[in-house]
């Protein structure tokens, strides 16, 4: 069973670097490191597998390249970008994990509790995921750079999460492919003060809290497929924009909150003035299933591209589209009852300038 998700780290709470001690193993690529050494600050080991085999909970990584795929279990903390000549402080070059293990480079295993700070993950073929968090695993990533791979099968992603992940001050790149995703999360995710870039989807999520992020994607900035998602104070840019692109697209979900975002990244655009004054509005509609599409709050956003909630019986039109004509030309996945459509028309006409 997975641990109860912990709150995201605010920038002021980013973890400090522990001093080298008996519970720490220091790692530096050869020739500085040697796997025959004891892993002390003066005698670092050379490879991550050797460092993990020593069984100490904290790894300090010198700048350099660390090849091969990696699996992390148990309770571990890895700090990268350190300089052995400066007392293992954060003054060195980047610590880059490179290579692959099957279709991913780094696996955070079920029931693991892992902290990564200041690392770069750069997979190569045949990997198409930078990091995979298995169901039951939990990870805290701060000041990391994650990149998706090029290989297949599957849609490349920088991070695929089936457990619980907390991201703060990170950058996620979907990779060089044509249909990449920066973050694909089917578990719990909190994403704070991060940058996410992808050719297809910035964040594909179920349970997630996304705050103060800068998201650039070609098709969907945030693609919501389930309950309990909050997107607040983010700057979403659709670039290079694909046909039918949407800043936020709602497939289905309850308890959704999309507030205070700038969508399309053009704060002085005419459309922003047109929609920014719209008051909070929630529609609840379900025809035959037990699903209740209530508690969908969309307010105070910039340029808003419409979404449709479409569960087992279809769902409501949940937010203002670019204009009334766009609404009428792009109905939800199932026809809305005439009474509800009249209500939507009346609401839009009453609030559009």
CA 202 to chain centre: 7
Please tell me what DSSP assigns to residue 35.
T
2.40.160, 2.60.40, 2.160.20, 2.60.120: which CATH number matches 13-351? 2.160.20
d(CA 174, CA 123): 11
- State the pLDDT at residue 178: 73
Per-residue pLDDT of 86-118, as tens digits, reads: 999 887 789 999 998 888 999 999 989 999 999
- State the pLDDT at residue 336: 58
3-state SS assignment for residue 133: strand
- State the pLDDT at residue 282: 40
Per-residue pLDDT of 183-213, as tens digits, reads: 999 999 999 999 999 999 999 999 999 999 9
For all residues of the chain together, what is the average pLDDT? Answer: 77
Is the per-residue pLDDT at 131 higher than 50? Answer: yes
* pLDDT, average across residues 325-349: 55
* pLDDT, average across residues 248-258: 77
Tokens for 186, please give them: 């089917």
Is the per-residue pLDDT at 82 higher than 70? Answer: yes
HSE toward the beta carbon, residue 330, CA cutoff 13 A: 16
The answer to whether the beta carbons of residues 211 and 233 sit under 8 Å apart is: yes
Q: Which residues, other chains included, contact 194 with Cβ-Cβ below 8 Å and sequence gap of 6+? A: 167, 168, 169, 170, 171, 172, 213, 214
d(CA 30, CA 47): 8
Q: Does the pTM exceed 0.85?
A: no
What share of the chain has pLDDT > 90, as a percent? 46
């Amino acid at each position: 069973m997975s641990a109860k998700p912990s709150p995201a780290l605010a920038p002021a709470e980013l973890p400090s670097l522990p001093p080298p001690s008996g519970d720490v193993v220091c790692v530096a690529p050869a020739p500085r490191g040697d796997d025959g050494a004891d892993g002390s600050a003066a005698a670092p080991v050379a490879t991550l597998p050797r460092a993990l085999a020593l069984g100490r909970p904290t790894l300090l990584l010198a700048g350099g390249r660390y090849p091969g795929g990696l699996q992390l279990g148990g309770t571990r903390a890895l700090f990268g970008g350190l300089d052995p000549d400066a007392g293992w402080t954060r003054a060195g070059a980047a610590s880059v994990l490179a290579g692959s293990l099957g279709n991913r480079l780094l696996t955070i295993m079920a029931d693991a509790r892992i902290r990564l700070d200041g690392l770069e993950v750069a997979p190569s073929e045949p990997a198409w995921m930078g990091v995979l968090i298995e169901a039951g695993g939990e990870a805290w990533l701060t000041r990391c750079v994650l990149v998706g791979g090029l290989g297949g099968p599957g849609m490349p992603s920088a991070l695929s999460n089936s457990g619980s992940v907390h991201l703060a001050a990170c950058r996620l790149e979907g990779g060089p492919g044509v249909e990449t995703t920066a973050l694909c999360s089917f578990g719990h995710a909190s994403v704070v003060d991060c940058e996410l870039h992808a050719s297809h989807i910035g964040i594909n999520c179920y349970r997630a809290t996304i705050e103060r992020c800068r998201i650039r994607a070609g098709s969907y900035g945030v693609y919501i497929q389930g309950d309990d998602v909050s997107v607040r104070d983010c700057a979403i840019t659709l670039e290079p924009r694909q046909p039918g692109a949407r800043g936020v697209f709602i497939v289905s979900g309850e308890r959704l909150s999309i507030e205070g975002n700038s969508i399309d990244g053009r704060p002085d655009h005419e459309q922003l003035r047109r929609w920014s004054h719209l008051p909070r509005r929630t529609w609840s509609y379900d025809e035959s299933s037990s699903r209740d599409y209530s508690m969908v709050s969309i307010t105070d956003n910039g340029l808003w591209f419409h979404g449709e909630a479409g569960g087992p019986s279809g769902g409501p039109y949940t937010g203002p589209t670019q204009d009334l004509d766009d609404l009428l030309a792009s109905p939800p996945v199932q026809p809305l009852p005439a009474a509800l459509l009249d209500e939507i028309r009346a609401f839009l006409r009453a609030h559009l300038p």
